[in-house]
Structure 1
Amino acid sequence: MKITGIEAIPYAIPYTKPLRFASGEVHTAEHVLVRVHTDEGLVGVADAPPRPFTYGETQASVTGVIEKVFAPQLLGAEVFARERVHALLYRTVGNPAAKSALDMALWDIAGQACGRSVTQLLGGSTDRMRVSHMLGFDTPQCVTAEAERIRDTHGITVFKVKVGRRPVRLDLDVCRALRETLGDDAELYVDGNRGWTASEAAFALRELDDLGLTLAEELCPADDVLGRRRLVRDCRVPFVADESATTPAEVTRSLLDGDATAISIKTARTGFTRSQRVLFQCEGLGTEVVMGNQIDGQLGTVCTVAFGAAHAATSRRAGELSNFLDMSDDLLTEPLTITGGTLAVRDRPGLGVAIDEDKLARYRQDH
């Protein structure tokens, strides 16, 4: 089965409220829908969410590199010749969201061709994951109100709290308010997006020690080599590398150099193929993983839960699978539903999704 066509369709859907964090803020999902066509009539889909403030990609750069560089190389390639496809893609430096979307669309085709879900092809460990919800910058009153609404509506009891502001007390007050409001049954962990210095992060962790946090993610820049190592060494919970470890090689260096003790896996930046390589490295080194979120819409969330549920290690912790709830609309014909704090895998061939063509026509940006 050969690739006969590749589409990169830019679209934009507003969020109902902006998500704010130390490295930027997002008001609109300016993503790229990627569709790969084959000579047997099967079509694979995936979403590319550019994050210019983190990875340097933009909507325009994703569509441009797919249309001008990747598509000409991949036309005529065999769908199942995954290593050959990756050799072509990775001759080009960077562009993680574009490469990952192409990889996941090909896995979608493979699942359809085999009559099996992507989760089954990848490992089939379970059929669902617990959900973690990400809370952005706001006042303690607003953040706790959102957490209560998410808990009461969707049954979610795991929350990732964005921190990294100055003064540090702004975020400490939010964390304390969440613990007081949600009680001891809720799981809380923090993500600084490199916003604090190592000394600020160390102070914050000492101040929050009694809250029972379960993870600390990217509290300070990895470029602060010695400060970061001291922080990680003294951290009493797993210290997660996310945007500082975006490739298998960076993951290895981060863990061996003492820059982190856990890894965030994001299918939006490493697809399914490279995400497995990252996961297997972590398993070999005895390192915990968490399924992260690139502020995904529903299609991106489908990909995250498909991969996370496929493996025991990635399904052990709650995955960040709920930020599509903040979007004003979406492209899938059948919306996702979080029930009892969990999200189920689509039990259908491939990713098991279909695109609403009317909505795509409404939101696409390339008319």
Structure 2
Amino acid sequence: MKIVRVEAIPFAIPYAKPLRFASGEVHTADHVLVRVYTDEGLVGTAEAPPRPYTYGETQESIVAVIDKILAPQILGLTALEREAVHARLDRTVGNPTAKAAIDMALWDILGQAAGMPVSGLLGGYTDRMRVSHMVGFAPADEMVTEAERIRDTYGITTFKVKVGRRPYTEDVAACRALREALGDDIELYIDGNRGWSAAESARALREMADLGLLFAEELCPADDVLGRRWLVAQSPVPFIADESATRTGEVTRELLGGSATAISIKTARTGFTASQRVLHECEGLGVEVVMGNQIDGQIGTLCSVAFGAAHRWSTRHAGELSNFLDMTDDLLTEPLRIKDGTLRVREGAGLGIAIDPEKLDRYRKDR
């Protein structure tokens, strides 16, 4: 199963409505389809979603780094030599989603070769995950309407609320409106995308103390080292590190430094190999994890649920697996279906990713 070619195809699919949050907003899924080809005819597939305001990657930079730097370094290696692949990829700093997509495509190849689902190779704990839905910036009544629609249509009862605007007016009011409208049977947690200061975060958490929040995520920047430690020490709920914990070393730094008490795992930035390392570190320390969302399309969501469902520790909480619902289309021949608040792992060998060639031709940007 020697690697003979790596393909990076840029494509763009509009969102039905933009997703807005403190560090930016997304109107179009400008993603990259990554395929790894082997000499035995097996092809692994994954998706790289650029987030320039978080990691500095763009669609163009992902295509360029794969074509010009990453792919040439791994040609001739086999899909089994993942450690050797990563040793070569890590010679180039940054570019997390480009590297993650290559890693997941290699796991897809291994699953196909073994005739097993990747989720089974990773651990095989269960075949589905509960789903959490992200609610983006909007007036409070619109956020409530969206959450009610998602609950009633898909059975989802966990909501991640984007905050980071005006903490004492818009954000707190929106969270309170959601709790009052949806009742005590749903789970709420907040994500600030580094939009508040530590002092603003502390006050906002006090004002929301009666809302029963499940988590608070990245309310203030990780670079505010002392302020964030001060905030986390008094936080009434587990504090999730997300953008600040993109590698295993950063996870260690945030947890042992007192800057976080929980971790968001995103396969879009750490693939399966590094995500397992992060998960096992967190499990060993007794730290909660949440399967996060890189505003993934359906391909990326398939990868997230395959990993999350494979491990007992990552199924303790609902995974952020629903943001593809806001896209107007996708590349899969068989769309994902959320039913009764859960998403199932695809059956069959590998990741179960089958690309519709007509849709790929319609949305790709390199022709």
**TM-score normalised by length of structure 1:** 0.99
CA distance in 2, matches of 1:282, 1:71: 31
SS at match of 1:54: coil
Corresponding residue for 1:236?
236
Corresponding residue for 1:296?
296
Pairwise CA distance, 1:234: 0.5
CA distance in 1, matches of 2:209, 2:305: 31
Corresponding residue for 2:310?
310
CA distance in 1, matches of 2:203, 2:241: 19
SS at match of 1:13: strand
Corresponding residue for 1:15?
15
2:290 aligned partner, one-letter code: V
1:93 aligned partner, one-letter code: V
SS at match of 2:259: coil
Q: Is the 8 A contact 2:13 2:28 kept in 1?
A: yes
Confirm or deny that 1:278 pairs with 2:278: yes
CA distance in 1, matches of 2:168, 2:309: 36
Pairwise CA distance, 1:322: 0.1
Q: Is the 8 A contact 2:228 2:259 kept in 1?
A: yes
User: Structure 1 residues 167 and 279 mapped into 2: Cα distance closer, same or farther (>3 Å)?
Assistant: closer
CA distance in 2, matches of 1:264, 1:68: 31
1:194-273 map, 5 Å: 194-273=194-273
CA distance in 2, matches of 1:41, 1:315: 34
1:11 aligned partner, one-letter code: F
2:110 aligned partner, one-letter code: A
Which digits, 9 at most, give the CA deviation of each residue in 1:121-157, with x for residues without a partner? 0000111000000000000110000000000000001
CA distance in 1, matches of 2:131, 2:237: 20
Corresponding residue for 1:354?
354
SS at match of 1:36: strand
Q: Number of residue pairs matched? A: 367
CA distance in 1, matches of 2:225, 2:95: 26
Pairwise CA distance, 1:167: 5.0
1:307 aligned partner, one-letter code: F
CA distance in 1, matches of 2:64, 2:23: 25
Pairwise CA distance, 1:236: 1.1
Confirm or deny that 1:86 pairs with 2:108: no
Pairwise CA distance, 1:27: 0.3
SS at match of 1:290: strand
Corresponding residue for 2:48?
48
In the alignment, structure 2 segments of 5+ residues that lack a partner are none
Pairwise CA distance, 1:286: 1.2
CA distance in 2, matches of 1:59, 1:151: 33
Corresponding residue for 1:95?
95
Q: Is the 8 A contact 2:167 2:201 kept in 1?
A: no
My pick for the range that moved more, 60-69 or 281-290, is: 281-290
Pairwise CA distance, 1:166: 2.2
CA distance in 1, matches of 2:2, 2:203: 56
Corresponding residue for 1:110?
110
Moved over 6 A (4+): none
2:2 aligned partner, one-letter code: K
Q: How many percent identity over aligned positions?
A: 72
Pairwise CA distance, 1:71: 1.1
Corresponding residue for 2:121?
121
CA distance in 1, matches of 2:225, 2:83: 34
SS at match of 2:54: helix
1:320-359 map, 5 Å: 320-359=320-359
CA distance in 1, matches of 2:157, 2:284: 30
1:160-199 map, 5 Å: 160-166=160-166, 168-199=168-199
Confirm or deny that 1:24 pairs with 2:20: no
CA distance in 2, matches of 1:218, 1:102: 27
2:76 aligned partner, one-letter code: G
In the alignment, structure 1 segments of 5+ residues that lack a partner are none
CA distance in 1, matches of 2:109, 2:101: 12
SS at match of 1:317: coil
Q: Is the 8 A contact 2:214 2:238 kept in 1?
A: yes
Pairwise CA distance, 1:75: 1.3
SS at match of 1:53: coil
**TM-score normalised by length of structure 2:** 0.99
CA distance in 2, matches of 1:200, 1:27: 29
Aligned alpha-carbon RMSD (Å): 0.6
